[in-house]
Amino acid sequence: MAVTTPVRAPEKPQPAAKTPVRRRRRQLGTYVVLVLVACVFVGPFLLLLATALKPSSQPVFSFPPDLIPRPPVVDWFVEAWTTIPYSRFLLNSVLYVGVTVPLYLIVSAMTAYPLARISFRGRQFFFVLFLSTMFLPGELMLIPRFLVMRELGLLDSYAAVILPAILSSLGVFLLRQTFAAIPDEVIEAARMDGASEWRIFLSVACPIARPTIAVLAILGFISVWNSFLWPLVALDDQSKFPIALGIAYLSGVSGADVRGLAAGTVLSLIPVIAVFVFLQRHILSSMAGAVKG
């Protein structure tokens, strides 16, 4: 990373004296561009926050825009919390995440392990079978899954939201790659010791795959927290809505103040942004890894 040091060769004093100044100026220019672009990506969220903090005496829209809340107030957060069953929506989302993500990890790992480490007939077939779910995106499965859930009598239940989110090609794929990368000697040594496949899976393979499992947990959390479309189809009962659906509901409530809507939205963003800020390096590198793999 520190590529700057070898460039400053001591035997060439003249360019060396010139370079740092020019380099610093160019670096400053780069930072200016970086910050401007960052405004494009973070700006809309800051605008949302500013709107949520505006007092009712200050108009939301004006020409030229008056973005700084004067004075900032938290009234709208209180309003968002009280006008709709906001805490209920939040609690529901916590529940959906808390049940779905562990199941997602367990099922992904159990499915991936034999595909990577046990040789059996049809292994390739099953791998392709699980990967094929990639070509059945949720957007296309709305109608038939709705009919299946109705058949199972699960419509408008927590289970209806959870079940379709447990199996994903990404989880199976990434864990299979990870298990397959474990050196043969490690697994063979355990087999020699007479360990059963279950024992090897639990005590050898899964601990080694912990980084991948952690990444999948993060991605699973984000995807379940943000899920909107399927719950919209599967749920009628407002008391089971996850937070994203609750926000959409709030924006449909007539007479709801835009500032209240902004406040509710900001609240819904906090958990995901918090997780992201703390774990962004893992998320970014894992996405790159998933693409390379």
Find the binding residues for another protein in span 202-231 (CB under 8 A). Answer: 222, 225-226, 228-229
Report how far residue 21's alpha carbon sits from residue 23's, in angstroms, rounded to the nearest whole number.
5
Assess 170 for contact with another protein (CB under 8 A): no
Q: What is the closest distance, in whole angstroms, from the C-beta atom of residue 234 to another protein in the complex?
A: 12
Angle, helices 243-252/258-292, rounded to nearest 10 degrees: 140
Report how far residue 241's alpha carbon sits from residue 129's, in angstroms, rounded to the nearest whole number.
32
60 or 95, CB closer to another protein? 60
CB atoms closer than 10 angstroms to residue 225: 21
Output the CA torsion sign for 247, 93, 278, 176.
Answer: negative
Q: What is the closest distance, in whole angstroms, from the C-beta atom of residue 94 to another protein in the complex?
A: 15
What is the residue-wise DSSP string for 241-253? --HHHHHHHHHHS
Q: What is the closest distance, in whole angstroms, from the C-beta atom of residue 166 to another protein in the complex?
A: 6
**Consecutive H or E run containing 292:** helix 258-292
Site for another protein in 59-88 (CB under 8 A): 60-65, 67
First CA to last CA across the chain, in angstroms? 24
Stretch that binds another protein, among 17-25, 70-78, 81-89, 242-250 (CB under 8 A): 242-250
Site for another protein in 173-192 (CB under 8 A): 192
Q: Which of 83, 111, 157, 177 binds another protein (CB under 8 A)?
A: 111
Site for another protein in 248-267 (CB under 8 A): 248, 251, 258, 261-262, 265
Assess 123 for contact with another protein (CB under 8 A): yes
